[in-house]
A and B are shown apart, each in its own frame.
Chain A
Amino acid sequence: MHFQYSIEGGDFSRAGNASSQLKKLLKQLNVDSQLIKRIVVALYEGEVNIVAHAHRGTIDVDIEPDKVFIRLSDEGPGIPDIKQAMKEGYSTASQKVREMGFGAGMGLPNMLKNADKLNIESEPGKGTIVELTTLLR
């Protein structure tokens, strides 16, 4: 099964809509609730990152019998130093992002903790691709 969602940069009121829809879907598919939580927490942090740091993006979700594969690709400033960005506490988030309860530099580390595999590719000035894989059994 394949699903696609589009995300607008800066649109905080809608940040989380894609994660919410995926959560409902995984529930319908009877995926274990702890696994659902891991998947949607990671996706939600990724969704917030597009809203907070990029101009616009697309989320592609592939649900297979044994895994859920999520690809978040965005057009935006990109991440010049991915190793640094992965460090807990590193953040370039604006005051507005902090007011929304994010911007403590915990998003990418949270995604790493909740996914079985995390892959990040980025081209500064162009955009970022984040891939999350979660095994279902």
Chain B
Amino acid sequence: MKIAEIVKTLDGSVILGKENLEKDVEMGFASDLMSDVLTLQTSNILLITGLSNVQTIRTAEMADITCIVMVRNKKVTSEIIDLANENNIVIIECCYSMFKTCGLLFQAGLKPVY
């Protein structure tokens, strides 16, 4: 699914990475627990999370994740944006709950990792 379609589906705002909206992500994974995210072997996934801190970005970096949706209206700080920018990570903010976000994206055709 194109990142642009994800943004549209969630009525989200693109905080970082506007130049990457035509890129595709194949699967989604939702968690607030970074150790959980670090168990995934799949790359090029969308991370859906309500955890907005530097470790979220570090986790994405280590796990080769290039797009993050921050749910529950979680805001990112400038420190987070700088780190994400260095690692070429797209950040989307969205005001829906984790459940609604996942439901909408699943319905739109985004595949689960498992």
A binding-site residues for B, Cβ under 8 Å: 12-13, 15-16, 19-20, 23, 33-34, 37, 40-41, 44-45, 48, 99-102, 104, 106-107, 110, 113
Q: What are 7 residue pairs bridging A and B, where the CB atoms are less than 8 Å apart in the complex?
A: A15-B58, A16-B54, A23-B62, A37-B62, A99-B53, A102-B35, A104-B36
Smallest CB gap from B52: residue in A: A101
Smallest CB gap from A33: residue in B: B64
Check B53 against A100 for contact (C-beta < 8 Å).
yes
B24-42 CB contact bits vs A (8 Å, 1 = yes)?
0000000011111011010
- Collect the chain B residues with CB atoms within 8 Å of residue A15's CB: 54-55, 58
Interface size on B, residues (CB 8 A): 21
Check B51 against A20 for contact (C-beta < 8 Å).
no
Check A44 against B39 for contact (C-beta < 8 Å).
no
Check B64 against A100 for contact (C-beta < 8 Å).
no
Check B62 against A102 for contact (C-beta < 8 Å).
no
Check B61 against A110 for contact (C-beta < 8 Å).
no
B34, B41, B63: the one contacting A100 at CB < 8 Å is B34
Would you give the shortest CB distance from B114 to chain A, in whole angstroms? 15
B binding-site residues for A, Cβ under 8 Å: 32-36, 38-39, 41, 43, 51, 53-56, 58-59, 61-64, 79
CA distance A15 to B62 in the complex (A): 12
- Collect the chain B residues with CB atoms within 8 Å of residue A44's CB: 38, 58-59, 62
Check B33 against A101 for contact (C-beta < 8 Å).
yes
- Collect the chain A residues with CB atoms within 8 Å of residue B33's CB: 101-102, 104, 106
Check A41 against B54 for contact (C-beta < 8 Å).
no
Would you give the shortest CB distance from B10 to chain A, in whole angstroms? 21
Check A106 against B39 for contact (C-beta < 8 Å).
yes
Would you give the shortest CB distance from B107 to chain A, in whole angstroms? 27
CA distance A33 to B62 in the complex (A): 11
Given A20-B58, A41-B62, answer yes or no on A110-B35 (Cβ-Cβ < 8 Å): yes
Check A40 against B62 for contact (C-beta < 8 Å).
yes
Check A12 against B62 for contact (C-beta < 8 Å).
no
Check B51 against A101 for contact (C-beta < 8 Å).
yes
B34, B39, B79: the one contacting A101 at CB < 8 Å is B34
CA distance A19 to B64 in the complex (A): 13
CA distance A77 to B39 in the complex (A): 27
Would you give the shortest CB distance from A26 to chain B, in whole angstroms? 12
